[in-house]
């Protein structure tokens, strides 16, 4: 495990990872900036935010997120206003190749959570789980505490509350527990908008948008076999599990994303 102090100087996190990365580490697809860094570098950045008691959001973007950002200017603005935006999934990797770049790593929340829990258990960082259906976060908490001895999950809250009426109460609940890390699992772009809107009020160091992660770590949904994840077709497994909900996202969304990147790239070349 690389720690932040072991990183080469140019990729150390100063106050702004976007500024402290050299230009090779900062990529842009469909007008969204993100960091092209290794898993160890991402973890070192997060570790450092907690160590220095600062506050950052961490967002992951995949092809579906970028498809949404094309139609949702608020989401696009929020993504570009934050410092730690990480690429998730084969779609982004393909898009990078289309523009002649190579992605350092695929950094989805599901793969990032185990080492983040190891760091948290070792350094006594606490975590709060916010999101998913009632009961899911509790099951995830039990699994995390069993898998990572010493891991402090200080509380959890399901994600089907009234956002207008109950957000203040939920923020008070989180702040009373003072977690270092809050995982927010409402799906994109709802979770990013919620984090962005309430960042100032939340008393935590890392606010991480994690999509469907709780459903996997609670054991409620099976994750794709490793060979599918390694070959970039995890989405196919998710589609197989939930065709009704996800066909539009993948069957229409994936080719649409490639088309959009192609068109965006051609326009950029003309300019």
Q: In the bound complex, what is the minimum distance in angstroms from residue 89's beta carbon to ligand UDP?
A: 10
Task: Based on the shown chain and the rule CB under 6 A, indicate whether residue 211 belongs to the binding site for ligand UDP.
Answer: yes
Min dist CB 132 to ligand UDP, Å, is 4
**Shortest separation between residue 215's beta carbon and ligand UDP, angstroms:** 5
Q: Is residue 63 a contact point for ligand UDP (CB under 6 A)?
A: no
Distance CA 132, CA 137 (A): 7
**Cα radius of gyration rounded to whole Å, the chain:** 18
Mutual angle of helices 253-270 and 63-71, in 10-degree steps: 60
The nearest distance, CB 271 to ligand UDP, in angstroms, is 32
Distance in Å, CB of 28 to ligand UDP, minimum: 21
Closest CA to 54 of 108, 4, 16, 11: 16
Taking the C-alpha atoms of 192, 193, 199 and 202 in order, what is their torsion angle to the nearest 10 degrees?
-90
Please report whether residue 192 would count as binding ligand UDP according to CB under 6 A: no
Is residue 133 within the footprint of ligand UDP (CB under 6 A)? yes
Residue 91 found at the interface with ligand UDP (CB under 6 A)? no
Q: How far is the CB of 235 from ligand UDP (least distance, A)?
A: 9
- Residue 151, classed as helix, strand or coil, is coil
Note whether 132 binds ligand UDP by CB under 6 A.
Answer: yes
| DSSP 3-state of 131 | strand
Q: How far apart are CA 173 and CA 176, in angstroms?
A: 5
Is 181 within 8 Å of 116 (Cβ atoms)?
yes
Using CB under 6 A, which of 34, 148, 214, 250 touches ligand UDP? 214
188 binds ligand UDP (CB under 6 A): yes
Neighbours of 262 (CB within 10 A): 13
Q: Where does this chain touch ligand UDP (CB under 6 A) — which range of 7-15, 31-39, 67-75, 128-136?
A: 128-136
Q: Which residues of 186-219 are buried (b: 16+ CB within 10 A; e: fewer)?
A: bbbbbbbbbbbebeeebebbbbbbbbbbbbbbbe
Question: Please, what is the minimum distance in Å from the beta carbon of residue 163 to ligand UDP?
Answer: 8
Strands 152-157 and 181-185: unpaired
* Site for ligand UDP contains 186 (CB under 6 A): yes
Could you say whether residue 160 binds ligand UDP (CB under 6 A)?
A: yes
Regarding 187 and contact with ligand UDP (CB under 6 A), the answer is: yes
Q: Which is nearer to ligand UDP, 2 or 246 (CB)?
A: 246
What distance in Å separates the CA atoms of residue 263 and residue 249, rounded to the nearest whole number?
20
The interface region with ligand UDP, picked from 38-46, 126-134, 143-151, 192-200 by CB under 6 A, is: 126-134
Residue with Cβ nearer ligand UDP (139 or 265): 139
Judged by the rule CB under 6 A, the positions of this chain that interact with ligand UDP are 131-133, 159-160, 185-188, 211-212, 214-215
């Amino acid at each position: 495990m690389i720690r932040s102090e072991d990183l080469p100087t140019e990729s150390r996190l100063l106050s702004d990872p976007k500024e402290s990365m050299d230009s090779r580490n900062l990529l842009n697809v469909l007008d969204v900036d993100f960091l092209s860094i290794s898993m160890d570098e991402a973890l070192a950045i997060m570790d450092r935010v907690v160590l220095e008691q600062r506050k950052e959001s961490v967002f992951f973007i995949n092809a579906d997120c970028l498809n949404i950002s094309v139609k949702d200017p608020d989401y696009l603005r929020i993504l570009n206003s934050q410092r730690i935006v990480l690429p998730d999934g084969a779609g982004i990797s393909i898009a990078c190749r289309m523009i002649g770049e190579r992605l350092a790593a695929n950094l989805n929340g599901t793969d990032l959570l185990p080492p983040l829990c190891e760091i948290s258990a070792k350094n006594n960082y606490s975590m709060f789980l916010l999101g998913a259906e009632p009961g899911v976060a509790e099951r995830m908490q039990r699994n995390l505490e069993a898998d990572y001895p010493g891991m402090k999950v200080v509380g959890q809250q399901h994600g089907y509350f009234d956002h207008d009426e109950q957000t203040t109460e939920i923020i008070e609940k989180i702040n009373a527990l003072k977690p270092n890390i809050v995982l927010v699992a409402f799906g994109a772009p709802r979770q990013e908008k919620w984090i962005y809107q309430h960042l100032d009020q939340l008393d935590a160091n890392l606010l991480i948008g994690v999509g469907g992660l709780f459903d996997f770590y609670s054991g409620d949904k099976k994750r794709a076999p490793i060979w599918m994840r390694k070959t970039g077709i995890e989405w196919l497994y998710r589609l197989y599990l939930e065709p009704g909900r996800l066909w539009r996202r993948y069957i229409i969304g994936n080719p649409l994303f490639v088309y959009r990147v192609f068109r965006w790239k051609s326009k950029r070349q003309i300019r």
